[in-house]
Structure 1
Amino acid sequence: MKLRIPSGCSKNDKDTIVDKVKGLIFGAIIGDSLGLATEGMTKSEINHVYGDGPIRFGMEDTEGVPFLRDHYRASFDENDFGGDAEQQLLVLQSIIQNEAFNYKEYAKLLREYSQHGIQGLEKKPIGINKTSQVVVAHPEFQNDPRKAAVEVWLTTNKLRGASGALVRAALLGVPKFWDGTTVIENTTDCCRITHPDPRCMISCVIVSTLVARILRGQDLENEDNDDQNITIVHKNALPVSLTLPPTPTDTHRMSSSKQPSQQKQQQQQKQQTLMNSSNMTPPPSSPTSSCYTSSSSSSYHLETDITLMKIVRSVIETNKRILTAPNTDPLFTTPETNIEQTQHYYQQLVETCSYFEDGPVDFGFLQLDSLVTEEQRHGSFKCLSAGLYSFTRHLPAGQETDYFKHILMDLVMQGGEADTNATVAGALLGVRMGYSHLPSEWVVGLKRWEWLEDQVDAFCDLF
């Protein structure tokens, strides 16, 4: 078996590695599924529909405001997942079939998926990102997917810098996670067949490399944090009293259902009003001064985990030549030949993704729902920064599950490309925490949960 884990390649034992891999996959699927609630919405629209939240998700007895069932969201079943999770599942199926990742085999599956959906799922491919749609429909894609992707990139400027490839990146950090070169090669190969933009490529490599390092477990020891290159101001965390929910493998107890309160009924009436006024796919994002503030956000004060922040900066530094010296390494070939432009991208990356402060969990500073011009557009960096901000929060021991829920809920309440952002953040939090710490009511509440379990177990059996 090509994916068998060699002895001594990780400080984690096999059971821990499997738990983390399952956490990655289910964390990503949960993120995509929850993110569908606000995909394409602005903060003002979200506030009108969901108020301060939370959004109801998972088991039937979970409290919260129900999903808006407008024209776009009515295409999905309750607790269903969309194209971002399905692209990850395609990577998983490709690896199972070949016992390794091969971008040509993945391209074949992606093309079949775009027409018929995932094999065995009996579900139409709803929600596949626009860039992938255009590339897969290109007449050259079947014979040469890389060429097709480059031609689309060169001729369709508005699709540059999109974040769609990032949803596949985390899982590509798993095969041969002990071999950094293989991880980067697999990641860049997979990115190039749909998103050859150098910003997408380095974003994907950062995510997959972080996953590989977490699985190796060799960077997570307590280090001397007196590092002049890491300037993070710590603040006193507010006291929080939380109860750890059961893990996904525990026995689940169904509580009696409750009648919706007057406030929930009013929220449902607001949803119906918005549904009646919008029968289109997710509305385009636009600037808004409205800001979502969770009623409990002040109770979720999280410091930056300095060890994880060091790892993030190390990964960015190691792979910066994708942008600072493009096309000097066969692994990092891109269609962008303007060195000044790629160096500008590098500055954007550093400014966006490597400086996070302590404080209440709040993604507002990223302005994830803002509409920006084509010249400014770098959605992959925004998506990456949302994932890295989530990943680098210090999670109090014993409270990981509750913080996972709050972080993802706060993220999707930002709107914009909510499902993509939450897919990446869910994957990074999932591989860090492990499947055993994911919220059971969210995992078991997923549509097709049993089918997903079978797929993930088949993948983990390769180890």
Structure 2
Amino acid sequence: MSDFVLVGSPIEEPPIEDKTARPSMQPGETNPNSPSYLAFLDTHPFVRASVIDKIYGCIVGSALGDTIGLYTEFLPKNACETIYKSRKFSLVEPVTEIHADTHRLRFTTCSWTDDTDQALLILLSYLHHPSKPLTHLPQDFAARLQIWLSHGLLALSRPPAGIGRLVGSVVTSPSYLASPVAAATAAWERSGRNAAPNGSLMRTHPLGVIGVGLSEEETWDVAAAVSRTTHADPRCSVACLIVVGLIRGLLRGEVTREAHIDALVERAYAHFLSNPSLAEAATPEPPIHFSKHELTSHTSAPSLDALSLDSPREMGYVYKALGAGILSLRMCMRARIPSRLPPHTLFEDTMTDLIMHGGDADTNAAVAGALVGAYLGHTSLPPHWREGLVDGPWLEGKVARLCARVGVLEGRADIEEEHDEQADGGKGLLSAAELEARDRAMVMSIMERKKAREEQERKGKGKGFAAWFGN
């Protein structure tokens, strides 16, 4: 069973938390007098198992969306339709052949991209430092991100690839670790207060899982603090608040239909505006398009076509990814109306429809995969994607530890440390010589794969992919 509703009428709105009696706290701080937010796990024998299934669905679903999205990342919609005529993708043999350009050749076949790498930095930080309050998490994430920028994901010996322009400029600032928010704000100011890319949204979903045992406000505060370590634009913060709030609500059985989505968008926006430490970036000179209408035009988009996801100038805009993720969740909810059973391929069909619109497809699908995965659960993920995911067993092992750390696995919160959860992956940082050798080997690998593909094309054995876009 991948869905559940808390005890009570299934048509009742979820209870609204009392926010007036709560004193002002720092991001991630927990009120010691607050009730246990995990009490809902004991309301029905099946609830705990359902929540665990949804947590796996969220984390693994996002990684699968990221991996499948790489097939069409940065392509226009019409090219996606021509290159991938069958609209079928497989990560197990026979593996779907990927469009052969230099961008895609940088990544290992059947592997996720930087989107999931950065989400894992948050997850690993929490596993390494799970104690509350979570005020340490934003700074620890920033330190891990700086390491990742040069060394990659050391736990898996994955080199960095696909680094966003804004993240790169912020994290390489000499004063970054002294004040990540100040460095991010300075970069935003240099953009004319208009840079609102999707880089913090793509990584935020683990915080929704961590927040299952926190209040909604506490979860939002941590999400905003982590977002602002690289992205100062208020639109980025609002988008992260909405996604982590939805994931938290999906796991807790408080978000089960579209009206709940709309209500959460309203609450997240209101929380942002009412919090001086967050809203200060929006005044006295609000960035272009920071308005309620701009937000809701994306969160209530009627179709993927309406979002123009492959727009060359706007494909990386944070509200594009937010809108794509929320619309994907809405479409799954509509497919699960009581009068008929949803197709067993609902996750696969939804992700495929999304990535076939091109644009920043891996990020759009990473966000959507987290939301839809948290709604449908791990059991709804297609086996021919899940079983072929590189490092999938390692990822699922970390999800198991996450379930224990957040308290969803009863009596399992106190788990032993694993060395690969340290900032250096338990292996130590690479030397300058090792970094140079790694980069040289990566370039050689790309050249060899490109040459092999071109030779295959010349022999007429390929699919003709290389004819579409120059490398």
Residue identity opposite 2:128 in structure 1: Q
Q: 2:394 aligns with which of 436, 451, 455?
A: 451
Q: Which residue of the partner structure matches residue 146 of structure 2?
A: 111
Aligned positions of 1:92-107 closer than 5 A: 92-100=123-131, 101=134, 102-107=137-142
Contact 2:62 2:368 in 1 (8 A): yes
Contact 2:246 2:255 in 1 (8 A): no
The answer as to 2:124 corresponding to 1:181 is no
How many residues get paired? 361
Per the alignment, in what secondary structure is the counterpart of residue 176 of structure 1? helix
Residue identity opposite 2:329 in structure 1: F
List per-residue Cα deviations over 1:197-228 (Å, max 9, x = no partner). 111111110111111111221343xxxxxxxx
List per-residue Cα deviations over 1:255-299 (Å, max 9, x = no partner). xxxxxxxxxxxxxxxxxxxxxxxxxxxxxxxxxxxxxxxxxxxxx
Q: Which residue of the partner structure matches residue 223 of structure 1?
A: none
How much does 1:401 deviate? 3.8
Q: Matches of 2:86 and 2:384 in 1, distance apart? A: 17
Show structure 1 runs of 5+ residues with no match: 221-307, 357-361
Show structure 2 runs of 5+ residues with no match: 1-28, 31-35, 408-471
Q: Matches of 1:122 and 1:216 in 2, distance apart? A: 35
Q: Matches of 1:378 and 1:443 in 2, distance apart? A: 26
Contact 1:174 1:212 in 2 (8 A): yes
The answer as to 2:88 corresponding to 1:88 is no
Q: Pick closer, same or farther for the CA change 1:403–1:8 going to 2, 3 Å.
A: closer
Q: Which residue of the partner structure matches residue 244 of structure 1?
A: none
How much does 1:436 deviate? 1.4
Q: 1:129 aligns with which of 158, 164, 177?
A: 164
Q: Which residue of the partner structure matches residue 278 of structure 1?
A: none
Q: Which residue of the partner structure matches residue 328 of structure 2?
A: 390
Q: Which residue of the partner structure matches residue 47 of structure 1?
A: 81
Q: Pick closer, same or farther for the CA change 1:159–1:10 going to 2, 3 Å.
A: farther
Per the alignment, in what secondary structure is the counterpart of residue 335 of structure 1? helix
Q: Matches of 2:255 and 2:73 in 1, distance apart? A: 35
Residue identity opposite 2:166 in structure 1: T
How much does 1:26 deviate? 0.5
Q: Percent identity at matched positions?
A: 28
The answer as to 2:61 corresponding to 1:27 is yes
The answer as to 2:68 corresponding to 1:37 is no
The TM-score with structure 2 as length reference comes to 0.71
Q: Which residue of the partner structure matches residue 177 of structure 2?
A: 142
Per the alignment, in what secondary structure is the counterpart of residue 87 of structure 2? coil
Per the alignment, in what secondary structure is the counterpart of residue 390 of structure 1? helix
Q: 2:201 aligns with which of 149, 162, 166?
A: 166
Contact 2:301 2:323 in 1 (8 A): no
Q: Matches of 1:55 and 1:75 in 2, distance apart? A: 22
The answer as to 2:364 corresponding to 1:421 is yes
Q: Pick closer, same or farther for the CA change 1:461–1:322 going to 2, 3 Å.
A: closer
List per-residue Cα deviations over 1:151-194 (Å, max 9, x = no partner). 01101349711011111222211223241121111100111001
Contact 2:38 2:212 in 1 (8 A): no
Q: Matches of 1:107 and 1:405 in 2, distance apart? A: 33
The answer as to 2:300 corresponding to 1:354 is yes
Q: Pick closer, same or farther for the CA change 1:413–1:384 going to 2, 3 Å.
A: same
Q: Pick closer, same or farther for the CA change 1:70–1:457 going to 2, 3 Å.
A: same
Per the alignment, in what secondary structure is the counterpart of residue 44 of structure 1? helix
Q: 2:90 aligns with which of 35, 49, 57?
A: 57
Per the alignment, in what secondary structure is the counterpart of residue 212 of structure 2? coil
Q: Pick closer, same or farther for the CA change 1:157–1:339 going to 2, 3 Å.
A: closer
List per-residue Cα deviations over 1:353-373 (Å, max 9, x = no partner). 1253xxxxx622211011347
Bigger relative CO (Cα 8 Å, ≥ 6 apart) = 1
Q: 1:381 aligns with which of 297, 312, 319?
A: 319
Q: Which residue of the partner structure matches residue 368 of structure 1?
A: 309
Q: Matches of 2:346 and 2:246 in 1, distance apart? A: 20
Contact 1:41 1:369 in 2 (8 A): yes
Which deviates more, 377-386 or 195-204? 377-386
Q: Which residue of the partner structure matches residue 279 of structure 1?
A: none
Q: Pick closer, same or farther for the CA change 1:342–1:71 going to 2, 3 Å.
A: closer
Residue identity opposite 2:261 in structure 1: V
Q: Which residue of the partner structure matches residue 18 of structure 1?
A: 52
Q: Which residue of the partner structure matches residue 246 of structure 1?
A: none
Contact 2:66 2:363 in 1 (8 A): yes
Q: Which residue of the partner structure matches residue 292 of structure 1?
A: none
How much does 1:78 deviate? 1.4
Q: Which residue of the partner structure matches residue 410 of structure 2?
A: none
Q: Which residue of the partner structure matches residue 373 of structure 2?
A: 430
Residue identity opposite 1:106 in structure 2: F
Contact 1:210 1:312 in 2 (8 A): yes
Per the alignment, in what secondary structure is the counterpart of residue 126 of structure 1? coil
Q: Matches of 1:160 and 1:9 in 2, distance apart? A: 41
How much does 1:195 deviate? 0.8
Contact 2:204 2:223 in 1 (8 A): yes
Contact 2:41 2:48 in 1 (8 A): no
Q: 2:230 aligns with which of 194, 203, 212?
A: 194
The TM-score with structure 1 as length reference comes to 0.73
Q: Pick closer, same or farther for the CA change 1:6–1:441 going to 2, 3 Å.
A: same
Aligned positions of 1:142-291 closer than 5 A: 142-157=177-192, 160-178=195-213, 179-220=215-256
Q: Pick closer, same or farther for the CA change 1:75–1:343 going to 2, 3 Å.
A: closer
Per the alignment, in what secondary structure is the counterpart of residue 174 of structure 1? helix
Q: Pick closer, same or farther for the CA change 1:96–1:342 going to 2, 3 Å.
A: same
Contact 1:36 1:419 in 2 (8 A): yes
Contact 1:401 1:438 in 2 (8 A): no
Q: Which residue of the partner structure matches residue 105 of structure 2?
A: 74
Q: Which residue of the partner structure matches residue 467 of structure 2?
A: none
Q: Matches of 1:352 and 1:454 in 2, distance apart? A: 35
Contact 2:40 2:252 in 1 (8 A): no
Which deviates more, 2-11 or 206-215? 2-11
List per-residue Cα deviations over 1:356-402 (Å, max 9, x = no partner). 3xxxxx622211011347xxx88111111100000012234654541
Q: Matches of 1:339 and 1:109 in 2, distance apart? A: 32
Contact 1:198 1:342 in 2 (8 A): no
Contact 2:73 2:361 in 1 (8 A): yes
How much does 1:343 deviate? 7.4
Q: 1:7 aligns with which of 33, 36, 39?
A: 39
How much does 1:44 deviate? 3.0
Per the alignment, in what secondary structure is the counterpart of residue 120 of structure 1? helix
